[in-house]
Amino acid sequence: MITEEQTHTVAQTAIEALSDSGAHLVRHVDFSSLTGVSADDWARFAANWESLRRDPYMTDGGTYRHRRYGQFDIDVTTGDLTQLPHGPYRQEADVNKLHGGVDRVYEPLTDSFVADPVLRKVLLGLAEVFSGVDGTKKWNVKVTPIRTTATTDQAGEPTPEGRHRDGVTFITSLMIRRTNVTGGESTVHTDDGEQLVTTTLSEPGDILLGDDRRTLHAVTTVRPENTGEPGHRDVLIMAYAAR
């Protein structure tokens, strides 16, 4: 049984690390304790990645990325989580040199995804951590489940734009599932190139947190581990912007 003290310790460690360096890795055991999500919960939630749709905006011509998209507002004080009307996803060209400067219209999050209690637990748990860093109590969160596929004919690029930031306050990458892939090493750097974190998210619930105002992040190519079969890397990207 996870105690309140253990949960507080995980949150406080994350707050201190983000306040200090701007980056922090939380392994699945700790993040599951922070959010109250069990192994069975992660497995159920992962089924939603089977309904993602191919990303039609890949300027490199790749067909390896599938996603959906939605936005939420969070009030940490009241615990309110409000889904916003569906709209386009946009990053400006100075933030995303590969795909920025255009409205990208993706399929909305499915009802089953939004209704799963894992989503609420994760979004609110992270909001409380980020509020502990800078005192903000209201957040807008862009939520993007992504699958990056890998075959012998086409490797997958989780960050085809290379080392980048997303133009928000905090950025997160939550591992949902890895199936028959190698690679996918995540790194976080300062603007000066100092490497803050290098890790491979591997277990459901592993999560990398970054202060997007102070850091840049990237993920290396994924390829099939068993070359006779396709593989995929499923993550949930959550971008928190102070309101």
Q: What is the pLDDT of residue 7?
A: 84
Q: What pLDDT is attached to residue 59?
A: 84
pLDDT of residue 6: 76
Alpha helices in the chain (DSSP H): 4-20, 28-35, 39-46, 111-115, 117-134
pLDDT in tens, the chain (243 residues): 557 777 889 999 999 999 999 999 999 999 999 999 999 999 999 999 999 999 999 988 899 999 999 999 999 999 999 999 999 997 666 666 556 568 899 999 999 999 999 999 999 999 999 999 999 999 999 999 999 999 999 999 999 989 999 999 999 999 999 999 999 999 999 999 999 999 999 999 999 999 999 999 999 999 999 988 999 999 999 999 999
pLDDT score, position 151 = 97
Which residues of the chain form beta strands (DSSP E)?
A: 23-26, 53-54, 65-67, 70-75, 80-83, 89-91, 102-104, 138-150, 170-179, 181-183, 186-190, 195-199, 207-211, 215-219, 222-224, 231-242
* Assessment of whether the complete model's pTM goes beyond 0.85: yes
pLDDT recorded at residue 20: 98
Residue 202, number of CB atoms within 10 A of its CB: 12
Domains of the chain: 4-198+210-242 (2.60.120.620)
Residue 110 has what DSSP assignment?
A: P
pLDDT in tens, 169-220: 999 999 999 999 999 999 999 999 999 999 999 999 999 999 999 999 999 9
